[in-house]
Chain A
């Protein structure tokens, strides 16, 4: 009995909300659209990052895999909630400051948000020589530093690979990912 009533009130509430949103119409439309788009992008980014991680092999398999988010990120909200990899192995996600000295020792993979050039250089100096997989979220020419550079758009999340960095990092990446990235790079 009570369940039915609750459902009824829920229905009424949603109807009210719908009416309100319809009346609010043009003013509210832009904001809600961007928020759902942002959610979609976050989801897609999460999938791509987890995919990249699943195709990567470290010299010694890290358990759990430690993913560090560095700098202000735009699409990492979903990522930080996760605690399991595609393979089912545990995943540890935490935020670090760009200047943290422990980066190389505390992270197996780093997800880089918006950093200025100096911060970026320092970061890569810190991780150089360590098997750390780096993924840049923001616009990055992918010529120096980061192994993977995301190209986030509404249609899809593409990525590029810096093969020099991959070779230097000591993290092995499955060739099919490299192939996928190259093809994506070829796309306009």
Chain B
């Protein structure tokens, strides 16, 4: 459970970069500093030992006469003269009988003196024991313990240097990683926002800006190319969709909406009308003698006639009215909104009148045709699409039976009752 939780927390690019920079910097400084300090300590140790021997020898020369004459005071004086100014912690002069003739000790109390003593015992050859010679005869010996001050100073300054460089390089690493992060993250962020916009809002017009890093720039360019293709493909698909949608709902010959589109629109308009207590009218149009025209003059002429009829009917309608080709030579018109029955009758008359002008055919001939119109009203002749269509259809046939090229209102029971009431 815990492991999976841990795995879920992914490190950010910033922390990864920062950690990498920091560890490289610390490693470099640490290795260089430690190795330099070690080498320095080794070299210094050799010199310090050599120096201690030199000091011992010069003490030797200075106290030689005092030892020969067994003069403790002179030996002490000579010893102090040299030991005081050199890095000596403890010096003793013995005569040949092993008697201590002179002793000098640096009184270095406190932490630093203690540390110096530690360093000296750890790193120096101690104690140095050197015989005092007089005419090639040993007359005594000295014992010398070094102080280790310069070694301690070197160690401390080395440690200080390492510490300082470590802090400095840590800051430098953080600064560099922050800069690098900016260079990497900015383009990535741009890429992400463009990808997000493309996915969520389908906005394919945005492009990734140029990046300072070659790989990221290439990625951005490829991404942009992909977006170009996606944009083309998307617009193509949209056009295709629109075409297909239009084809599915429209008649290819006349360009008018088809039956399915009309029925959908009709039921929607009926729902609106029912909600708002509105009236509307449905006109059912049928071309007279169309079958004969088709048979005698050919389908091409029939098509021409249909196109002409459609154009003329459309020209008679108001802005929100709809005309559709239901099939063959049958058309339907939806008049909405409708203020009075008279408006519908007037439009029907205008449609019928528009047919009286002869049509000029492509062959040079002219032709006159006529339409029979049945009118059904909502809500008087029906409240649903089917009953309204039926009523209009029936009214159209009635008009055809009585005299072609006329209009006829539906004669349902309700409208008849209405009619009686009004008269």
Spell out A's residues near B (CB within 8 Å): 44, 47-48, 51, 54-55, 85-88, 156, 174, 176-177, 179-180, 183-184, 187
Contacts and interface: CB of A to CB of B under 8 A. Distances in A.
A48 B66 CA distance: 10
Interface residues of B, number: 16
A183 B68 CA distance: 16
A176 B64 contact: yes
A177 B136 contact: no
B134 interface: yes
B65 A177 contact: yes
A115 to B, nearest CB: 25
Contacts of B422: none
Given A48-B69, A54-B135, A183-B74, 5 more contacts: A44-B70, A51-B68, A86-B137, A176-B65, A179-B65
A51 B74 CA distance: 14
A109 B77 CA distance: 30
B79 to A, nearest CB: 14
Contacts of B64: 176
Interface of B: 62, 64-66, 68-71, 73-74, 77, 134-137, 139
Nearest to A50: B68
B97 to A, nearest CB: 11
A174 B71 CA distance: 16
Contact of B135 (A44, A86, A156, A184): A86
Contact of A88 (B69, B73, B135): B135
Contact of A86 (B73, B77, B134): B134
A183 B73 CA distance: 10
A123 B381 CA distance: 179
Contacts, number: 46
B291 to A, nearest CB: 156
Contact of B74 (A48, A55, A87, A180): A180
9 contacts: A86-B137, A86-B139, A87-B134, A87-B135, A156-B71, A174-B65, A176-B62, A177-B65, A180-B74
B68 A86 contact: yes
A180 B65 contact: yes
Contacts of B70: 44, 47, 156
Chain A binding surface, main DSSP class: helix
A177 B66 CA distance: 8
B69 A180 contact: yes
A156 B74 CA distance: 12
A183 B137 CA distance: 25
A88 B74 contact: no
Contacts of A54: 68, 134-135
A82 B64 CA distance: 22
Contacts of B62: 176
Given A47-B70, A54-B68, A174-B65, A183 B134 contact: no
Contacts of B139: 86
A75 to B, nearest CB: 15
Contacts of B77: 183
Contacts of A180: 65-66, 69, 71, 74
A181 to B, nearest CB: 9
Given A180-B74, A183-B74, A183-B77, A88 B68 contact: no
Given A156-B71, A180-B71, A183-B77, A55 B65 contact: yes
Nearest to B77: A183
Nearest to A183: B74
Nearest to B72: A156
A138 to B, nearest CB: 20
A2 B370 CA distance: 178
Nearest to B65: A176
Contacts of A183: 73-74, 77
Contact of B69 (A47, A85, A87, A187): A47
A179 B65 CA distance: 9
B153 to A, nearest CB: 35
Q: Which of A54, A87, A177 has the most CB of B within 10 A?
A: A54
Contacts of A44: 70
Contacts of A176: 62, 64-65
A55 B135 CA distance: 9
Contacts of B71: 156, 180, 184
Contacts of B73: 183, 187
A88 B137 contact: yes
A42 B140 CA distance: 21
B137 A87 contact: yes
A176 B62 CA distance: 8
A101 B62 CA distance: 41
A82 to B, nearest CB: 14
A47 B66 CA distance: 12
A68 B134 CA distance: 24
Contacts of A48: 69
Contacts of A86: 68, 134-135, 137, 139
Nearest to B67: A51
Contacts of A55: 65, 68
A113 B193 CA distance: 118
Contacts of A85: 135
B135 A51 contact: no
Contacts of B134: 54, 86-87
A49 B88 CA distance: 33
Contacts of A88: 135-137
Among A55, A87, A180, A184: residue with most chain B CB under 10 A: A180
Contacts of B136: 87-88
A177 B71 CA distance: 11
